[in-house]
Amino acid sequence: MVVDYTIKIGGEAGQGLQTIGYILARVLVRAGYHVFANQDYESRIRGGHNFFQIRFSDKRVLSASEGVDILVALDRASIERHRGELTGDGMILYDPDSLKVRYREPFFLDVPMQALAIDAGGRVMMNTVAVGAVLGMLNHDFGILEDVLKETFMKKGTEVVENNIKAGRSGYEYAKENCRRCVFVLSGGDGRRRMLISGNEALAIGAINAGCRFISAYPMTPSTGIITYMASKAEEFSIVAEQAEDEIAAINMAIGASFAGVRAMTATSGGGFCLMTEGVSLAGMTETPIVIVLAQRPGPATGLPTRTEQGELFFSLFSGHGEFPRAILAPRDAEDAFYTIQKAFNIAEKYQSVVFVMSDQHLADSYWSVDGLDPQRIGIERGLLQDDEVSEGYLRHRITETGVSPRAIPGQAGKAVVVTDSDEHDEEGHIIEDAAMRKAMVEKRMKKQEGIASEISIPALYGDERPDILLIGWGSTHGAIIEAVDILNKKGVNTSMLHLNEIWPLHPKVADIIHGAGTAYTVENNFTGQLGRLIRMETGLDLKGSITRYDGRPFTAGEIVRRVEDAING
């Protein structure tokens, strides 16, 4: 029997449901399970309805399940909204004293979490009681939770640690003794130690590993976690993490740091990126390397600031006035984010260009269990001149066959005079009005697009090379699509997935794979099917259509399967 269970913690902002979810996820990863966890939260400090959902299994899990096995209801709204999601043996855990109601149905387990917490030392430990109760319902080993609680609260002193262990154990024992209907069977995991890491954490760690030592950003959900994580490591890795006064300052600071020779980046969301677009053009004209993490959320304007969407593919592709080369990468999950952003820095510096790393709220705030990250897999390629290569008469924008000019750091080797300008310029970097030089400089810059195209990896094909149904996705839709493909194939529908985590320049293999398929659909979190339109624009191929979702929530595998079946049945 394959273990595959989902725990959902629902409640209002401020009730600590993220704490419950994160500790549970850590315990389950520590026990040797594969874990995927995602969050749904409103843009308010207190109130509203939020949930943290954990799926764990003894096989790899890549997306959220639609069924819930244990619902931890911290308020009545969670019961009303999610009781219909319970699986056949599903249970709802709640505190009748806190909710001031007692449910009589057999799938409810009432645990006096508040009273147990007070007995252990204080009401503040209700969340720890809840964690213990869930593990008791699962008949899970309590010792792992004890270790996690020690690590979590050790800085607060022995008494706090002991009280939390007492609270957790009281919830554990109460649930284990009173949940007569709990029939959950665990395998004990596979014993492997894994990391639990979010998309934002992976992007930040990947950037640090790539040698990024400067980040400037203005806080904007869902990108904020990147700069806060890097700021927490600033002293350890000599990083300058600057919270700018606005996004205009943020991108210009990053461009200035990069011009001075430091690997630099900025991170924002759509509304903030609107203010950055002039800076994008500045980087294009001055050929200054810059990595921009664009963490998408629903728009226009403020939209749904804490939800997810893939609505800014064209925004990044056509951002900035004028024509200049760029690359667009879109990691599929946390592990891929770690490696993708390192590749982004290499492309940016090798081709002295703008590179976008497209994220979204689903990728940024979700957690994956990862077997490990290899810091040596992607080497650092800076594309800088060595000191002995710098000579008198250095030309910052020298015309070359590849379009890539030799890049020196200002003052390098006591010789390099680095001149550039936001106006069109000659090879030295001085302003010109000459038509012939303008033409030569445009061609030089655009020539670099060929080099960037050579760096783009062949998109991943999962399944048959000539399927009846081909589902095409990009970025964070990867997990849901790949699980949908497995479900459809088990149902006898010959289905494959083509996934792009490196979108622009579009790899020519995309057209070949589509030609070999019977019917192709893009699966996208936007209204207009932007990837499908990009494919049509670049290849002339008209896809059957797009399976789109634009309510601010991510796809599930089950939804994709139903949409494909509806399309097949016409």
Per residue in 47-79, pLDDT tens? Answer: 889 999 999 999 999 999 999 999 999 999 999
CATH number where 204 lies: 3.40.50.970
pLDDT in the model for residue 14: 87
Residue ending a domain, among 321, 343, 370, is 370
Please give the distance of CA 323 from its chain centroid, rounded to a whole number: 29
Q: What percent of the chain has pLDDT over 90?
A: 94
- Residue 381 falls inside a structural domain: no
Q: Which residues of 77-87 are buried (b: 16+ CB within 10 A; e: fewer)?
A: ebbebbbebbe
Asked, for residue 563, whether it belongs to a domain, the answer is: yes
CA dihedral sign of residues 282, 284, 287, 292: positive
**229 with 335, same domain?**
yes
Is it the case that residue 171 has pLDDT exceeding 90?
yes
What does the DSSP 8-state code read for residue 221? T
| pLDDT at site 450 | 97
CB of 356 closer than 8 Å to CB of 310: no
Please, what is the angle between helix 270-286 and helix 247-259, to 10°? Answer: 30
Same domain, 83 and 155: yes
What single-letter DSSP state applies at residue 457? Answer: P
Residue 506 is part of a domain; what is its CATH number?
3.40.50.920
Helix (H, G, I), strand (E, B) or coil at 524: strand
Q: Are residues 349 and 428 in the same domain?
A: no
The predicted-structure confidence for 269-305, as pLDDT tens digits, reads as follows 999 999 999 999 999 999 999 999 999 999 999 999 9
Average pLDDT over residues 199-212: 98
Report H helices in 139-186: 142-153, 158-178
Residues 449 and 491 both lie in one domain: no
Both 445 and 355 in a single domain? no
Q: What is the pLDDT of residue 336?
A: 98
Residue with tokens 């090798």: 350
The mean per-residue pLDDT over the stretch 135-151 comes to: 95
Are the C-beta atoms of 224 and 358 separated by less than 8 Å?
A: no
Which amino acid, residue 153? Answer: F
**442 and 539 fall within a common domain:** no
pLDDT, position 124: 93
Tell me, yes or no, whether 340 and 430 share the same domain: no
> Domain end: 455, 488, 505, which one?
455
> If you count DSSP H runs as helices and E runs as strands, how many of each does the chain have, helices first?
20, 20
* E strands in 74-222: 86-94, 108-110, 195-198, 214-217
Residues 15 and 53 in one domain: yes
| Within a domain: 128 | yes
Tell me the pLDDT tens digit for each residue of 302-330. 999 999 999 999 999 999 999 999 999 99
> Considering the domain boundaries, does residue 165 fall inside one?
yes
Predicted local distance difference test score (pLDDT) of residue 189: 82
Query: Does 67 share its domain with 154?
Result: yes
- State the CATH number of the domain containing residue 37: 3.40.920.10
Q: Is the dihedral of CA 243, 249, 251, 255 positive or negative?
A: negative
Distance of CA 556 to the CA centre of its chain: 16
In this structure, the answer to whether residues 110 and 42 fall within a common structural domain is yes
- 377 within domain boundaries: no
Distance CA 66, CA 68 (A): 7
Range of the domain at 495: 460-569
> How many residues comprise the chain?
570
Report if residue 189 sits inside a domain: no
pLDDT at 376: 97
**Any idea which residue has 């289905």 for tokens?**
495
Query: What pLDDT, on a 0 to 100 scale, did the predictor assign at position 490?
Result: 97
| Residue 332 resides in a domain | yes
pLDDT at residue number 208: 98
Domain end, chosen from 400, 425, 455, is at: 455
Angle formed at CA 194 by CA 189 and CA 198, multiple of 5 degrees: 120
Task: Centre a 10 Å sphere on the Cβ of residue 154 and count the other Cβ atoms it contains.
Answer: 11
Distance CA 334, CA 295 (A): 14
Question: Is the domain of 405 the same as that of 536?
Answer: no
Q: How many CB atoms neighbour CB 181 within 10 A? A: 13
Rounded mean pLDDT, 351-379: 97
> What's the pLDDT at 63?
97
Residues in CB range of 428: below 8 A, 6 or more apart: 395, 396, 397, 419
**Model confidence band, residue 45 (pLDDT cutoffs 50, 70, 90):** confident
* pTM reported for the whole predicted model: 0.96
383: left (phi over 0), alpha (psi -120 to 50) or beta: left
Residue 271 covered by a domain: yes
**For 501-560, where are the E strands, in sequence order?**
502-504, 519-524, 545-548
The stretch 13-23 carries a mean pLDDT of 92
Overall number of domains in the chain: 4
Alpha carbons within 13 angstroms on the beta-carbon side of residue 304 total 18
With contact defined as beta carbons under 8 Å apart, do 362 and 189 qualify?
Answer: no
pLDDT tens, residue by residue, 477-528: 999 999 999 999 999 999 999 999 999 999 999 999 999 999 999 999 999 9
pLDDT in tens, 392-417: 889 999 999 999 999 999 999 888 89
Q: Are residues 233 and 328 in the same domain?
A: yes
362, HSE (Cβ side, Cα atoms, 13 Å): 28
